[in-house]
Amino acid sequence: MLDLTWLHDQDSYKYSHPYQYPPNTTSMFSYVESRGGDYPSTVFFGLQYYLNRYLSHRITMKEVNEVDGFCKAHGVPFHREGYEYIVKSLGGALPVRIRAVPEGTVLPTSNVLISIESTDPKVFWAVSAIETLLLRVWYPITVATRSRHIKSIIYKYLQATSDDADAEISFKLHDFGSRGSSSQESAQIGGAAHLVNFLGSDTTPGIWAANHYYHSEMAGFSIPAMEHSSVTSWGRDHEVDAYRNMLTHFGKPNALIACVSDSYDIYNACSKIWGEQLKEEVIKSGATVIIRPDSGNPPEVVLNVTKLLDEKFGSTINSKGKKVLNHVRVIQGDGINEQSIGYILENLTDHGYSATNIAFGMGGQLLQGLNRDTLRFALKCSSIKQLGKNVDVSKDPITDPGKKSKAGRLDLIKWVNPTNQEVKFQTVRLRDEEIQNEFSYMRTVFENGNILVDEDMKTIRARAK
């Protein structure tokens, strides 16, 4: 496999940038922020992956020679002297200091999330060299943010219609997104980001990544589940045998098993097969069978399926006056997004059913249906040092005021409003030689190739919660 280092992984024009800065520049400071977008706040997550996987790498002369040759053939200049200096004088370590808010932090957009500052005046431009790679942190942040936003939607309905919202919420949104991801690495990073908020996932690369890079024994969980081929391979006349086989293998007391049931006629499967032919076997097994519709109009189909299962298996009225199905549940994985989840839950609630009855599987819209502009992410230089003096740097295009960037060396503080006790975050400017504000909420997580903060998923989940 082609394994590229931070030296290889730069936009082409980056290789010419060391020659472009003003004379006598000795330092550079840049920052990462979400400038707004689809959500009013972000869940900060994923930097630790990039630090471990890429930025802690020490480059070698072999790699310098490779990239030098590449740039010559590619048609762009290469600052060989600078990169040789990094290898020979700095041991190949990336000469920057990275400070960041703690992962799992939920904070309003338009605040500094990460700062990057050079630590060696001879190669100050290293800050810019890693922009391409480092800004990809937009992806896990955006996945974690969307996942948490959906969690708030589901939690609202659980609080209104279930007996114990806190006990149920962690498994209400299951990650079905692996096959729709653009690459295995996307599945790793995005899948791990979803697990900040939930415990259910079928995206095994994401679970592996969370286990490895965020020190979890097991970050995500799943259950035995059917796919269409394990139904249709039995033939239409033996649909009941496919389901019975599932019960035989996995139907044990307190077990959960998921059975896609729309290969032919979802309503017949619920009323006649599950509700009559297999009803006693389901009850005797002691398992909870989770019926999965996979086609049609989600709010309509989910309600119809829930009603049919209620007719056949009955339900119990909970403390909120809502019906909870006996022995069975429903999971909807087709057509799932933020809007459809709200419609489904509203429809069930209006007809007297608890959100306890339903879970959701989300694929493309969770891991793939987003981009850098979903939260308008940017990494911008905000200060350089010339002749020993810090100089503000910013952009302010007259054609788009929304792209105006911040100026100065920046930090983030967290404080409590004395009037209403509301927690507030504020981006502030550092004084000339300060590394951090005395009330800084950011931490130095990386310096000169060394990772200084390495947290586990349990700690990060607690912050996000």
Q: Kindly report the CATH number assigned to the domain that includes residue 309.
A: 3.20.20.70
d(CA 406, CA 363): 36
Q: Residue 249: inside a domain, yes or no?
A: yes
Q: Quick check: is 324 in a domain? A: yes
Range of the domain at 265: 229-293+295-331
In a domain, 270, yes or no: yes
Number of domains comprising the chain: 1
The DSSP secondary structure of 211-275, one letter per residue, reads HHHTT-S---B---B--THHHHTT-GGGHHHHHHHHHHHH--TT-EEEEE--SS-HHHIIIIIII
The full DSSP string for 386-413 is ETTEEEE-----TT-GGGPPP-SSEEEE
Which has the closest alpha carbon to 127: 452, 463, 447, 461? 447
Bridge-based pairing of strands 288-292 and 389-392 is unpaired
Element containing residue 83 per DSSP (H, E): helix 80-90
d(CA 430, CA 437): 6
Residue 342 lies in a domain: no
Q: What does the CA dihedral 145, 150, 156, 161 come to, rounded to 10 degrees?
A: -150
Token pair for 162: 């279930």
Nearest Cα to 8, choosing from 52, 92, 97, 68? 68
Question: Which pLDDT belongs to residue 138?
Answer: 98
Any residues with CB less than 8 A from the CB of 196 and at least 6 apart, and which? 43, 45, 104, 144, 147, 148, 457, 460, 461, 464
Enter the DSSP assignment of 16. G
61/292 Cα distance (integer angstroms): 55
What was the pLDDT predicted at 419?
Answer: 86
Question: Which residues does 445 contact at the CB level (< 8 Å), separation at least 6?
Answer: 47, 48, 51, 98, 99, 100, 451, 452, 453
In a domain, 338, yes or no: no
Residue 282 counted as domain residue: yes
Tens place of pLDDT per residue across the chain (465 aa): 688 999 999 999 999 999 999 999 999 999 999 999 999 999 999 999 999 999 999 999 999 999 999 999 999 999 999 999 999 999 999 999 999 999 999 999 999 999 999 999 999 999 999 999 999 999 999 999 999 999 999 999 999 999 999 999 999 999 999 999 999 999 999 999 999 999 999 999 999 999 999 999 999 999 999 999 999 999 999 999 999 999 999 999 999 999 999 999 999 999 999 999 999 999 999 999 999 999 999 999 999 999 999 999 999 999 999 999 999 999 999 999 999 999 999 999 999 999 999 999 999 999 999 999 999 999 999 999 999 999 999 999 999 998 999 999 999 999 888 888 888 999 999 998 899 999 999 999 999 999 999 999 999 999 998
Q: Is residue 430 part of a domain?
A: no
- 3-state helix/strand/coil string of 63-81: HHHHHHHHHHHHCCCCCHH
Residue 438 lies in a domain: no
3-class DSSP assignment, residue 159: helix
